[in-house]
Amino acid sequence: MLGEVMLVLFSIAGIFSHPFIETIKHYEGYYAKPYYCPAGKKTIGYGHVILAGESYTNLSKYQADLLLVKDLCEHIFYLEEDAPTLFEECDLNRILAVTSFIFNLGRGNFRSSTLRKKINAKDWEGAANEFIRWNKATVNGKKVELAGLTKRRKAEADMFRSGVNHIY
């Protein structure tokens, strides 16, 4: 029930018609069938991690859109708990940029990040500069810069900094 209420509230607020949602979808990619993401998690749609008790075998783009909305709602609530200063400003661009970051990297990474510390200190430019530091993934046991992550982090930083929506 709460999830349905969240969807209605955020849809009314216009969050899910924001152009940056298409940017998130671009970087996540659409997968109709389950696959294992680079972190080794079973995933489907636009980056939805399949949880215990869920059994997705095939998703239409419409179903993937609905699942993305649900996932982003959850991540926005995490963000409100972890970085309440961001909501004092009511800047939708910043909220969506950081929600994309959390959706991609996980709440734990955000909670321990300098990005979060700078947001909570209202150091907006310093926070924008932190996104690019998260452009690496572990490949064969080593941290390696990935071009796709660099592009995504740059897009998130642009959205956070100035509300400019780019797909690199």
What are the catalytic residues?
28, 37
Q: What are phi and psi of 96, to 5 degrees?
A: -70, -40
The half-sphere exposure of 158 on its side-chain side, counting CA atoms within 13 A, is 13
DSSP state of 50: P
Q: Name the CA radius of gyration of the chain, rounded.
A: 15
Strand partners, 159: none
Q: Say if CB 127 and CB 119 are below 8 A apart.
A: yes
DSSP state of 51: P
CA 154 to mean position of chain CA atoms:
13
